[in-house]
Amino acid sequence: MEDSRRDLKDENLNSLLPDVQVDRRGFVAACIAAGFAVTAEPILAQAIKTSMDGLDGGDAKVGDIPIYYAVPKGKGKRPVVIVVPEIWGMHEHIKDVTRRVAKAGYFAVTNEPYFRIGDLTKLEDIKQVLAGANQLTDAQAFEDIDKVVEWAGKNPRANVEKLGITGFCRGGRTVWMYTAHNKKVDAGVAWYGGLSPSLPGQPSTPMDVTDKIDRPVLGLYGGADQGIPLERVEMLRAGLKAFGNDKKSTIHVYEGMPHAFNADYRPSYRKEAAEDGWKRMLAWFKKNGVA
């Protein structure tokens, strides 16, 4: 009797599998078609969609580096803001953020950090995504952004004498690190930038370079971020203070907020915190000469 019940259960389960597989294939196809990373498990209907109305730009290349940029239509130079992607790279959400930054009056540009490694947006296993992203060394990431800044410096619509940088998750970590690397940066805004122990190609963490972060950076963190414990955020704050750099940089923690609270296409999105963070970002750039 027990075997019969087990057989019946297995038969019923198997009868459902084709529909489950079709649904999953459909979800994956929809994510790819919309330009979102599959393993981000996006809520496509929820994602904010910013149009190109009033903007110039689009996909381009700097040498072999894929980029996406947007700038308000018209003449004259605009301050430059570099937008650094999450671990999935330059997918649709990051392009949309780039358009939003442009609509705030900037020459906004992002680049695909992982193009030498592969298209991480199409991978269906988050472990594979992390393994791919972890192959990118800081040296290579910095070199690519340097080239993008150089390219922008030759664009008649961009003023790299006023240079800002913002990024999310892995890109938020890059904001701290790149600001320590490139003294041409006027201001940065790091959204929940990773503070984990170092990786082989990324031998330092933001806590290790607080002596070099002498440009104003605003760190935005979630108080309930399971991947970035508050004690690490406080270590970063203490490091900045130890070298006197807390007089320029500051950290704001949103109590009770999870990781990726600005990712409007994901379940982690928290509208109130995201909108407040966006206002803080624009005010920070204006306060520190990127306007």
Q: Which of the following is catalytic: 91, 93, 181, 259? A: 259
Q: Which of the following is catalytic: 93, 96, 138, 169? A: 169
Q: For residue 280, give Cα distances in angstroms to 64, 156, 245, 285.
A: 34, 28, 19, 9
Tokens at 133, concatenated: 């992203």
Catalytic residue at 259?
A: yes
- Strand residues in the chain grouped as ranges (E): 55-62, 65-72, 78-84, 107-111, 158-168, 187-191, 217-222, 250-254
Does the CA dihedral 267-253-136-181 come out positive or negative? positive
* Residue 165 phi, psi dihedral angles, 5° rounding: -145, 140
Catalytic residue at 225?
A: yes
Q: Which of the following is catalytic: 138, 144, 225, 264? A: 225
Look at residues 138, 126, 243 and name the one whose alpha carbon lies nearest to residue 194: 138
* Residues in CB range of 236: below 8 A, 6 or more apart: 176, 195, 206, 207, 210, 219, 251
Angstrom distance (rounded) from CA 184 to CA 172:
18
Beta bridge partners of 81: 108, 164
Catalytic residue at 56?
A: no
Active site residues per annotation: 169, 225, 259
